[in-house]
């Protein structure tokens, strides 16, 4: 009885359709296909229109964002293409095509901000963290939890000391990895929900020393540059660029990733 209830709940959650205004998932896929066809024919603005219709209906996927980025790139709208490549990368950080196109798009913008070099183990750590997106880590954490319990059962129920010993370490490692995966999933979800990164959309923006138009000009950034958003006061946000410099600018010049 208990199991039946769980399965019923599970089915409900899984089968529950993605609510989208105006488009069913099938229609979304059809529009997407139409966009792909238009892109192949070279009608990039038509392709973009199809893709954006799907995107604005509330559907997201790394593929969709990537294709939108490509269409924008072909129309020479680089800031938009960077924005969508970044969005695609949040969903699928390990994808090589997305990384390649993002890097290429970043060579077409004005600002070339050298990022602060990181220690090798921090770089490794970030690489590991970027192996999956938020959902990837969440799924992995669930798999790891399951494997922990399986090994725990083997450990608890086995009579043979050798098998007990063989099951103990995997169980422990699974538990540790589960904790890490959960932490990564949480971090990635925070990025997805709070959207702390943004792309500059105004051709030229002057970063100010305080949230006030009359304050001292600190530096100038141009469209297409990625910034990290910190505090927010009214229309003003504190931004941090890759080189570590901080300044204030108006939020309307930005588009959150």
Partner 1 sequence: MKDPHKILSGSNVWESAVLLGLVLAFWILPWPLWAQEFQVQAPRQVAAGQQFTLSFSINADGDQFRGPDFKGFSVLSGPNPSTRSNIQVDARGQMIRSITKTFTYHLLAGQEGSFTVGSASIKVNGQDIKTEPFEIKVVKGAAAASGGQGQASRPQGRSQGSDPGKISEEDVFIRAIVDKTEAYVGEQILITYRIYTRRQINLPNTLQHPSFNGFWTEDLLRDDKQYRQTEETYKGQRYVVVDYKKLALFPQKAGPIRIDPFEIEVAARIQSQRRSGDPFFDNFFGGSFFNTYQNVQVKLKSNALSLTIKPLPSAGQVAGFKGAVGQYSLSAEADRQELKTNEAATIRYTISGKGNLRLIQAPEISFPSDFEVFDPKISDRVSVQASGISGSRTFEYLTIARAPGTHQIPKVSFHFFDPEQKQYRSVSTDSIYFQVEKGEGDQILTQSGISQEDIRLLGSDIRYIKTTPPRFRKASSPLLFTNTFWIWLALPVILFVLVLVFWYRRMSFLQDQQAVRKHRATRMARKRLKSAAKLLGSGQKEAFYESITQALWGYLADKFNLSLSLLTMDRVSEALSERKVSDEDMTELKNIVESAEYARFAPPGSTQTEGDIYARALAIISKLENQLR
Residue whose entry in the numeric block shows the structure tokens 């095509």: 97
CA distance 234 to 256: 16
Q: Which of 4, 42, 161, 214 binds partner 1 (CB under 8 A)?
A: 42
CB atoms within 10 A of CB 88: 28
131 binds partner 1 (CB under 8 A): no
Shortest distance (Å) from residue 77 CB to partner 1? 13
Q: Does 27 bind partner 1 (CB under 8 A)?
A: no
Residue 170 beta carbon to partner 1: minimum distance, rounded to whole angstroms: 15
234 binds partner 1 (CB under 8 A): no
For partner 1, the binding residue among 157, 163, 179, 213 (CB under 8 A) is: 157
Applying CB under 8 A, among 52, 110, 145, 173 the residue interacting with partner 1 is 145
- Write out the two tokens for 121: 């183990």
**How many chain residues interact with partner 1 (CB under 8 A)?**
65
Task: Report strand pairing: 197-200 vs 226-233.
Answer: antiparallel
Shortest CB 31 distance to partner 1, Å: 11
Residue with tokens 């030229």: 204
The yes or no reply on residue 132 touching partner 1 (CB under 8 A) is: no
Q: Which of 55, 73, 86, 113 is nearest to 197 (CA)?
A: 86
Residues whose CB falls within 8 Å of the CB of residue 96, separated by 6 or more in sequence, listed in order = none
Q: Is 101 in the site for partner 1 (CB under 8 A)?
A: yes
Instruction: Work out whether 84 is an interface residue with partner 1 (CB under 8 A).
Output: no
Exactly one of 1, 4, 6, 112 binds partner 1 (CB under 8 A); that residue is 6
Q: Which of 244, 225, 245, 206 is nearest to 108 (CA)?
A: 225
- Residue 156 binds partner 1 (CB under 8 A): yes
CB of 171 to partner 1, least distance (A): 11
Return the residue of 31, 44, 132, 224 that touches partner 1, per CB under 8 A.
Answer: 44
d(CA 35, CA 30): 9
User: Closest separation between CB of residue 217 and partner 1, Å?
Assistant: 32
Alpha-carbon distances, residue 106 vs 65, 80, 141, 152 (angstroms): 16, 11, 33, 48
Residues 100, 102: Cα–Cα separation, whole Å: 5
**Which range touches partner 1 (CB under 8 A), out of 8-16, 110-118, 209-217, 229-237?**
8-16
Q: CA-CA distances (angstroms) from residue 157 to 33, 164, 176? A: 53, 8, 22
How far is it, in rounded angstroms, from Cα 6 to Cα 88?
34
> How many residues are present in the chain?
257
**Binding region for partner 1 (CB under 8 A):** 2-3, 6, 9-10, 13-14, 18-20, 25, 28-29, 32-33, 36, 39, 41-46, 54, 58-64, 66-67, 70-71, 73-74, 91, 97, 100-101, 104-105, 134-135, 137-139, 142, 145-146, 148-149, 152-153, 156-157, 182, 185-186, 188-189, 192-193, 195
């Amino acid at each position: 009885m208990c199991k039946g209830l769980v399965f019923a709940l599970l089915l409900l959650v899984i089968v529950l359709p993605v609510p989208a205004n105006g488009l069913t998932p099938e229609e979304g896929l059809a529009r997407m296909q139409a966009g792909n066809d238009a892109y192949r024919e070279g009608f990039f603005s038509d392709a973009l229109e199809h893709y954006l219709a799907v995107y604005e209906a509330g559907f997201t996927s790394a593929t969709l964002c990537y294709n939108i980025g490509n269409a924008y790139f072909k129309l020479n709208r680089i800031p938009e293409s960077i924005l969508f490549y970044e969005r695609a990368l949040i969903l699928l950080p390990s994808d090589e095509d997305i990384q390649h196109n993002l890097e290429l798009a970043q060579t077409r913008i004005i600002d070339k901000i050298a990022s602060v070099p990181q220690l090798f183990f921090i770089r490794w750590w970030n690489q590991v963290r970027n192996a999956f997106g938020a959902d990837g880590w969440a799924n992995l954490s669930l798999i790891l939890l399951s494997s922990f319990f399986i090994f725990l059962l083997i450990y608890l129920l086995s009579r043979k000391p050798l098998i007990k010993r063989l099951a103990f370490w995997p169980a422990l490692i699974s538990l540790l990895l589960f904790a890490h995966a959960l932490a990564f999933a949480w971090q990635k979800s925070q990025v997805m929900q709070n959207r702390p990164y943004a792309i500059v959309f105004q051709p030229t923006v002057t970063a100010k020393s305080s949230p006030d138009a009359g304050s001292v000009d600190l530096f100038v950034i141009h469209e297409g540059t990625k910034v990290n958003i910190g505090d927010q006061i009214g229309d003003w946000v504190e931004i941090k660029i890759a080189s570590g410099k901080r300044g204030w600018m108006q939020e309307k010049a930005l588009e959150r990733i």
